Structure 1
Amino acid sequence: MARIHVAILGAGRIAQHMADTLVKMAAGSRYADLVEPYAVAARDAGRAADFAAKYGFPVSYGSYEELVADPNVDLVYIATPHNLHAEQAILCMKAGKGVLVEKAFGANAAQTREMLAVAKETGMLCAEAIWTRYMPSRAIIDKILASGAIGEIQAIDANLCYPTTAKARITDPALAGGALLDVGVYPINFIDMIMHNAPIARIESSMRAYETGVDAHNSMTFYYENGVMATAQSSILCHSDRTGSVWGTDGYMVCQNINNVEAIDVYDGNHTVVAHYDVPAQLTGYEYEVAAAAQAVIDGRTECEEMPHADTLRIMELMDSLRRDWNLTYPFER
């Protein structure tokens, strides 16, 4: 079968990371027969052309409508601010294109439901590009915990914080800015992957607001029905150690950098490292989500098994509930 022609909608920082990934995938033997970097679209034709020239994409467009009208486009990676994802994903799907939508999948659960409904209606792929769900580290963590190496899980702790207030998008309520959707989604997903969709009995949370009204720093505690207690923090104000830890009755596990797990250490009850796991070398880390999405397009599926629609919707509903607790709404939601 012909390679999947991948296009990028948007030409910002994360779009450049994806472009670099696609070029490396096409140049290597593992993915060369699967994906082909094809096109980029931006609201400015000159910017799109410069982007295409930089990464060697054969096609560029100065509007998103032109991109989706191209019959050669199979899969579109959406790399724009959160508040635009729904509108753009729906535009692509209704034009017969599969979409890989950068996290957070949408600004809220209502937008998410609308996107998933269109995926069902059109039969097009609609997948959330939260890369940690697709990485090999996920299977490594599952295997360690299933082995009983740390005993019975009692608690989980995860954090991800970067000082990013200098970026206008991050602090703008109109663009669904704030810590939660930008970085908080990672500790939430880290915990959720370990808990395997276990039901939550109750949630306690708090946040510190930025001067624009978005959440600048937040803290969450999830009380699961099976007794496990999980805590998470995210921030756009400060640096953190980005650690994800799982604490058990016989020891504990520590993951370095939950945003892109670099290594995993297992400790016994005496705080001695009893096992160390290195994560496989990667091109950029984005290749796993791209490969999963491309294969789903080939198979004619509307979702990726690594991040099915039910999980995407459940996480978005969880984040909506947190914002309700904080009385945080975005202008376009009022």
Structure 2
Amino acid sequence: MIEYNIGIMGAGYIAGVIAKVLKDMNGFCPYAIASRDEEKAKKFAEEYEIEKAYGSYEAMLEDPEVELVYIATVNSNHVELAKKCIDAGKPVFVEKPISYNAKTAAELLKYATEKGVFCGEAMWLRYNPLMNLVVDNLRKNIIGDVRSITANIGYNLGGRERLLKPELAGGALLDIGVYPITAVFMLMGGGPVNVVAEPIITTTGVDAYSSIYMRYPQGRSAYITVSMTTSLDKRCIIYGTHGRIEIDNVNNPTLVTVYGSDGKSRGEMKPADDAKTGYEYEFKAARKAAIAGNQETEELSIKDTIEIYRFIDAIRYTWNLPFPLPEEPEKKPMTVENLNPNTKNA
């Protein structure tokens, strides 16, 4: 099989995970790694047996053998690097979040469309077959009408300095909260009509923990808990009028259990026997879209991508936590009126 050459920007943790995944996939090759630190790139290339190592992102983009670029850098420079890829005519797949706010994400995706170059978000939950199977079964009313959803995600990420820095678009909501939010949007068929969100803010000015209540029409609701200071169970439970569905891991489902109204198990859903890590599906989708000359994958539209970040923006701005980055509003001075903004609806 002809291998599809992937160039990776950024030599951090997630880049290493993806390099391993690509090496284990038929038809893919982690061909090149680029970092602003050439020694770091060379060390990464040696560890993951990657053919090319570059000490600048621009140098890698000049390599004609690179067929798709995967961006795995800090959240704050995803758009800048993606535009460089687009200008070089390279299809690009950006690790979530595609950007730090909806406005810059929309501008990026519009720019890619105008240039006729594929640019997509590597939000692996959207591509997970098991998650999409749950969505399909909900449409068939497997548990009746969906009434409420709970979803948690939490890790002890205190050692990851980038998450504590507003200038790098850090914080739990944008980095990991995007998973349960995406899950709820997928399962409910879109966003809520109202939201109330309560954060715990770090001394550096980013959210470390939050509780998010989402109200939908006809009395439906969802409740999300997000933490980057403590490990949570990461489960997602969907309650219907005739039973419930339990998903073991909200960002990468590996076991789904269906219960009837009597509380007894009605069966389980598991990944296919040939499933690997879950990341393989998003890269197959990105390759398919890029080769076909499409501007979005079948699983994740431009519209759905932007919708998620509009929702996250609304929460952050209600918390008065804009990032000190372009196209962000100014931080409001603390007054009696906005001393406790999180009590308002986003």
What is the TM-score normalised by the length of structure 1?
Answer: 0.94
Contact 1:203 1:221 (8 Å CA) reproduced: yes
Are 1:244 and 2:251 an aligned pair?
Answer: no
Counterpart in 2 of 1:308? 301
Query: How many angstroms apart in 1 are the aligned matches of 2:137 and 2:3?
Result: 36
Aligned to 1:292: 285
Q: Distance in 2 between matches of 1:48 and 1:42?
A: 5
Q: Does the C-alpha gap of structure 1 residues 2 and 280 become closer, same or farther in structure 2, counting only changes over 3 Å? A: closer
Contact persistence 1:77–1:100 (CA under 8 A): yes
Contact 1:255-1:265 within 8 A present in 2 as well: yes
Measured in 2, the distance between the counterparts of 1:2 and 1:87 equals: 31
AA at the equivalent of 2:252: N
How many Å separate the matches in 2 of 1:101 and 1:2? Answer: 23
Q: Distance in 2 between matches of 1:69 and 1:225?
A: 51
Equivalent residue, structure 2, for 1:220:
212
User: Which residue pairs with 1:133 in the alignment?
Assistant: 126
Quote how far apart the aligned CAs of 1:226 are: 4.3
1:263 aligns with 2:255: yes
Aligned twin of 2:179: 186
Residue type of the alignment partner of 1:15: A
Contact 2:126 2:132 in 1 (8 A): no
**Is 1:156 the equivalent of 2:115?**
no
Deviation at 1:200, TM superposition (A): 2.5
Matches of 2:114 and 2:120, distance apart in 1: 15
Distance 2:135 2:311 in 1: 23
Tell whether the 8 Å contact from 1:94 to 1:118 is kept in structure 2 after alignment. Answer: no
Aligned residue among 310, 319, 325 for 1:317: 310
1:146 to partner: Cα distance: 2.9
User: How many equivalent pairs are there?
Assistant: 326
Structure 1 partner of 2:112: 119
- Aligned partner of 1:28 in structure 2 is none
1:173 corresponds to which of 151, 166, 169: 166
Displacement after TM superposition at 1:54 (Å)? 1.8
AA aligned opposite 1:128: E
Aligned partners of 2:133, 2:156: CA distance in 1, in Å?
30
Q: Using the TM superposition, name which of 252-261 and 139-148 deviates more.
A: 139-148
* 1:82 is the counterpart of 2:75: yes
SS in structure 2 at match of 1:200: coil
Deviation at residue 2 of structure 1 after TM alignment: 5.2
Residue 35 (structure 2) pairs with residue 18 (structure 1)? no
Distance across 2 between alignment mates of 1:306 and 1:131: 10
Q: TM-score, normalised by structure 2?
A: 0.91
Would the alpha carbon gap of residues 121 and 143 (structure 1) be closer, same or farther in structure 2, given more than 3 Å must change? Answer: closer
Partner of 2:97, secondary structure, is coil
Following TM superposition, by how much is the alpha carbon of 1:3 offset from its aligned partner in structure 2, in angstroms?
3.7
Tell me if structure 2 keeps the 8 A contact 1:7–1:38.
Answer: yes
Aligned AA (1:6): I
Give structure 1 stretches of 5+ with no counterpart.
26-30
Give the structure 1 partner of residue 271 of structure 2: 279
| Superposition misfits of 4+ residues, deviation over 4 angstroms | none
CA distance in 2, matches of 1:225, 1:69: 51
1:91 paired residue number: 84
Pick the aligned partner of 1:209 from 165, 177, 201.
201
Q: Residue 338 of structure 2 corresponds to which residue in structure 1?
A: none
